[in-house]
Amino acid sequence: MLHWIQYIRGYVTIKVWGYSVERLLNLCGNHDILVWEIEDHGDYHTMHISIEGFFALKPLLKKTGTRVKVLHRYGVPFFMSKMLARKIFVAGLVCCILFWCLTSRFIWDIRIEGNLSLTEDVLLDYLEERGIHTAMKKSDLQIESLEQALREDYDLITWTSAQLKGTTLLIRIKENDMPVYEAEEQKESSQGMDLTATRDGVVTYIITRKGVPLVAQGQSVKAGDVLVSGAIPVYNEDTTVRKYQFVEADADIILRYGKNITLEEAVAYEEKIYTGETIGIPVFGVGEKALTFRFPGIPYDYYDISEEKSQVKLLDHLYLPLYYGKRTVQEYEIAIKKHTDDEMKVLLQARWDKIIETLEEKGVQIAKKNVTIKKNEEKWVLTAGLQLEEAAVKRRPSRIVQTPQEDASEQTAE
Amino acid sequence: MESLKLPKDTMLGAAIVTVTGNREALVENYKGILEYTTESIVLQGKNARICFEGKNLSIDYYTNEDMKISGRIDALRYL
């Protein structure tokens, strides 16, 4: 403590020599001048003395016939005068401290832990919507309400914890491990649902679980035709419809239909041959704007441009809107070439396989196929006649509507 | 005098020497310093001189009221 006070007020180390150092010490004591760490070096003594003490020492030196020399200066007053000589350094130091004080009031990083099925992007977007993003003020953040909102807006999240660690916002969540069953929506059955065909075809298979089938196996239908009605009529004794019971029609129905596919593949093709000539252009970007060092012009007839850009980032998540990279211009020449028969086969086969694959992905089965390939000098043409089978049905609200008048009249009849 | 129970040092002007081991000595109520080398330090009290002898003696601080001596103290004599 005493040491700190001495340091703040400033002190010097002096070398004292001459006739009687002891007498000088006595005088110092009498004049209330504090000296400490007095050491005897034979010819001379060294001691520490405060700045005020040093200035009060002059008359005493004369009296005792001793001489003094300052060896070292310590303390804040000397430090300050040293610092004042380095104005820019001090200004930089002050700016630096201010900068730290200022930036530590913002959130510079958002980390999310514990999310398994909710991706970080989803959660970050959600936070952004709530006005929580990097470079926001810490004081604007309401942790309690954020935790609550996360739990309320995502059913999957069962527990949340948000905390500020320095300038990092750490959000820890726990997702529900148990599967979430959504309550099956009970539809009001005031109106039935029909099954209708989505395309023209022939019914090859029909099994009805709910509703009234209106078509039979082998019957041709048109797109939009009702296949299974969701309105089940309840008949009177005279076979007139008394009322309808509405259900959601459910049935396995397969429609068969024909489809023609034509694929053309030209024998001649253009090939890019890269000449190996390239130009690299450095690119720098700030925000949306990119800055490139332009050349007077690209001296190639045909060229590809590719660009690689990297973003400057601090920490793991904080990206600065600064980009740097390289734009590469590659020259090529066009050569006209012809595919060989084997190549043509492979090309067509690949395209054909892709079509079949997409059909199968949609749940379409191929009942029959008839494929022919016609070749000539310029191109190969693949023609295929397919017989496809597909559950091409769609649910649609029933067109039959219960009229309340009927109900009323029946009630009076009863 | 005794019955007043006043501290003796103020009344008699006697020096108080507190020695800690042989490494440190605190002296209060002295008049001045007569001699100071690394081997001996002689202080003037009201009635007697106090002489510290030893090796590497140095004065940690020195004020009007008290002073502290450190180093290896071999002997403490009253002259």
pLDDT tens for A312-333 read 877 666 677 788 888 888 889 8
Across the interface, whether the CB atoms of A34 and B60 are under 8 A apart is answered: no
Residue B23 lies in a domain: yes
Bigger pLDDT: A305 or A187?
A305
Q: Is B33 within 8 Å of chain A by CB?
A: yes
The stretch A277-286 carries a mean pLDDT of: 82
Residue B47 lies in a domain: yes
Instruction: Identify the CATH number of the domain in which residue B27 sits.
Output: 2.60.40.2000
What CA–CA distance (Å, rounded) separates A228 from A14? 112
The stretch A105-131 carries a mean pLDDT of: 88
Q: Which chain A residues contact residue B32 at CB under 8 A?
A: 22, 25-26, 29
pLDDT class of A244 with cuts at 50, 70, 90: confident
Examine the pLDDT at A405 and tell me if it is beyond 50.
no
Across the interface, whether the CB atoms of B62 and A25 are under 8 A apart is answered: yes
For B32, the closest of A29, A39, A47 (CB atoms) is A29
- Give the distance from residue B3's alpha carbon to the nearest chain A alpha carbon, in angstroms: 33
Residue B71 lies in a domain: yes
CATH class of A106-175: alpha beta
- Return the residue in B30, B63, B69, B70 with the most chain A beta carbons within 10 A, the one to mutate for interface testing: B63
Examine the pLDDT at A187 and tell me if it is beyond 70.
no
> Nearest residue of A to residue B32 by CA position?
A26
Across the interface, whether the CB atoms of A29 and B36 are under 8 A apart is answered: no
For residue A16, the number of C-alpha atoms closer than 13 Å in the C-beta half-sphere is: 31
Total number of domains constituting chain B? 1
Quote the domain boundaries for residue B50.
8-78
Examine the pLDDT at A413 and tell me if it is beyond 70.
no
Residue B35 lies in a domain: yes
Across the interface, whether the CB atoms of A37 and B32 are under 8 A apart is answered: no
Across the interface, whether the CB atoms of B37 and A40 are under 8 A apart is answered: yes
pLDDT in tens, A357-369: 998 888 888 888 8
Q: Which chain A residues contact residue B57 at CB under 8 A?
A: 40
Q: Which chain B residues contact residue A34 at CB under 8 A?
A: 61-63
Interface confidence: ipTM more than 0.90: no
- Give the distance from residue B1's alpha carbon to the nearest chain A alpha carbon, in angstroms: 29
What secondary structure letter does DSSP report for A258? E
Residue type (1 letter), A340: T
Across the interface, whether the CB atoms of B62 and A21 are under 8 A apart is answered: no
What CA–CA distance (Å, rounded) separates B26 from B20? 8
User: How far from B59 is each of A69, A223, A294, B13, B70, CA to CA, in Å?
Assistant: 19, 113, 77, 22, 6
- Which of B67, B20, B22, B24 has its CA nearest to residue B43? B67
Q: Kindly state the tokens that stand for B66.
A: 């008290």
pLDDT class of A231 with cuts at 50, 70, 90: confident
The answer to whether the beta carbons of residues A283 and A306 sit under 8 Å apart is no
φ/ψ of A306, rounded to 5, equals -125, 150
For residue A374, the number of C-alpha atoms closer than 13 Å in the C-beta half-sphere is: 7
- Give the distance from residue A79's alpha carbon to the nearest chain B alpha carbon, in angstroms: 24
pLDDT at A410: 47
> Nearest residue of A to residue B40 by CA position?
A40
Rounded to the nearest 5 percent, the helix, strand and coil shares of chain A are: 25, 45, 25
Q: Kindly state the tokens that stand for B60.
A: 């940690």
What's chain A's average pLDDT?
A: 84
pLDDT at A94: 93
Across the interface, whether the CB atoms of B61 and A45 are under 8 A apart is answered: no
pLDDT at A11: 93
What CA–CA distance (Å, rounded) separates A345 from A373? 10
Examine the pLDDT at A306 and tell me if it is beyond 60.
yes
- Which of B40, B30, B49 has its CA nearest to residue B72? B40
Q: Which CATH number fits domain A2-81: 2.40.110.10, 3.30.70.340, 3.40.462.10, 3.40.1390.10?
A: 3.30.70.340
pLDDT class of A411 with cuts at 50, 70, 90: very low
Examine the pLDDT at A408 and tell me if it is beyond 90.
no
* pTM of the shown model: 0.40
Domain segments of chain A: what residues? Answer: 2-81, 106-175, 198-253, 269-292+301-311+319-337
- Return the residue in A6, A14, A16, A36 with the most chain B beta carbons within 10 A, the one to mutate for interface testing: A36
Residue B2 lies in a domain: no
